[in-house]
């Protein structure tokens, strides 16, 4: 694992349609079973795309890596917590909140991912907007994950330690523990085009945990 001040990583995540927006991340914690990272818009983004989120926190397992470690599970859970900065009419899976005053709202999601082809999520919380805003929680829904690129600017040493621990565990079990390269991502079928969260044409992001189906 690189130990430079920043490095680019690609994960299979859901909740954000990055479009032309670029994101930077700070790794809060990392171990062989879970990684927690906080994302914000890249202040040096030269595309002039508006930034829809602030301090979006993702938690996900090794399944989210483009090339997972040997013997890593291919399913798991994903959790997301973020603030939508300019809420107009916001759709979070099948939970909607409407605010005509573009007041920030905070969203929390828990998702169970099955082999990166089908994901079920339930909104945990939806707060914010303006007095009188409508909030309608409904049933869980299919949710897509797709390759998502993040420039990690802090916490690289945590990722390095987690990678080393995973390699040692694999070697102990008789594996080779060799880190694989990063192949060209393949779009995931049945994806909702990353638009699980809408914001009047912009789509925002969430936090992840791995599993099979939510009740």
Does residue 1 lie within any of the structural domains?
A: no
Predicted confidence (pLDDT) at residue 79 exceeds the cutoff of 80? yes
CB-based contacts of 185-190 (< 8 A; 24+ apart in sequence):
185/10, 185/12, 185/66, 185/146, 185/147, 187/146, 187/147, 188/12, 188/116, 188/117, 188/144, 188/145, 188/146, 189/117, 190/117, 190/118, 190/142, 190/144
State which residues form the domain around 35. 7-211
**Cβ neighbours around 130 below 10 Å, total:** 13
- Which of the two residues, 35 and 174, has the higher pLDDT score? 35
| Contact of 197 with 15, CB cutoff 8 Å | yes
Token pair of 168 as six digits: 């040692």
- Which of the two residues, 90 and 185, has the higher pLDDT score? 90
Does residue 190 lie within any of the structural domains?
A: yes
Does residue 159 lie within any of the structural domains?
A: yes
Question: Of the ranges 116-120, 182-186, 198-202, which one carries the lowest mean pLDDT score?
Answer: 198-202
pLDDT value of position 36: 96
pTM: 0.64
Q: How confident is the model at residue 173 (pLDDT cuts 50, 70, 90)?
A: low
pLDDT value of position 202: 26
- Which of the two residues, 134 and 45, has the higher pLDDT score? 45
User: With helix as H, strand as E and coil as C, how does 144-194 read?
Assistant: CCEEEEEEEEECHHHHHHHHHHHHHHHHHCCCCCCCCCCCCCCCCCCCCCC
pLDDT value of position 91: 46
**Helix locations, the chain, DSSP H:** 156-172
- Which of the two residues, 29 and 110, has the higher pLDDT score? 29
Mean confidence (pLDDT) of the chain: 65
Does residue 152 lie within any of the structural domains?
A: yes
What total of structural domains would you count in the chain?
A: 1
pLDDT value of position 164: 79
- What average pLDDT score do residues 147-163 get? 89
List C-alpha distances in Å: 139 to 79, 142, 144, 178, 185. Answer: 17, 10, 16, 42, 30
Q: How confident is the model at residue 41 (pLDDT cuts 50, 70, 90)?
A: confident
Q: How far apart are CA 29 and CA 161, in angstroms?
A: 10
Does residue 2 lie within any of the structural domains?
A: no
Does residue 92 lie within any of the structural domains?
A: yes
Does residue 27 lie within any of the structural domains?
A: yes
């Amino acid at each position: 694992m690189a130990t430079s001040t920043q490095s680019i990583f690609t994960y299979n995540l859901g909740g954000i349609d990055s479009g032309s927006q670029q994101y930077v991340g700070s790794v809060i914690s990392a171990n062989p079973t879970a990684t927690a990272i906080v994302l914000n818009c890249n202040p040096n983004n030269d595309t002039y795309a508006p930034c829809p989120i602030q301090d979006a926190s993702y938690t996900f397992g090794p399944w989210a890596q483009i090339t997972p470690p040997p013997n890593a599970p291919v399913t798991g859970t994903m959790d997301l917590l973020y603030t939508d900065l300019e809420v107009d009419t916001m759709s979070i899976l099948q939970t909607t909140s409407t605010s005509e005053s573009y007041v920030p709202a905070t969203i929390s999601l828990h998702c169970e991912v099955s082999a990166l082809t089908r994901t079920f999520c339930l909104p945990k919380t939806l707060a914010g907007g303006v007095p009188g805003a409508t909030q309608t929680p409904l049933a869980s829904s299919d949710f897509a994950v797709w390759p998502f690129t993040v420039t990690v600017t802090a916490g690289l040493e945590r990722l390095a330690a987690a990678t080393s621990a995973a390699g040692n565990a694999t070697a102990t079990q008789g594996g080779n523990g060799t880190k694989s390269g990063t192949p060209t991502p393949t779009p995931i079928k049945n994806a909702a085009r990353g638009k699980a969260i809408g914001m009047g044409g912009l789509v925002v992001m969430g936090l992840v945990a791995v599993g099979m189906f939510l009740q």
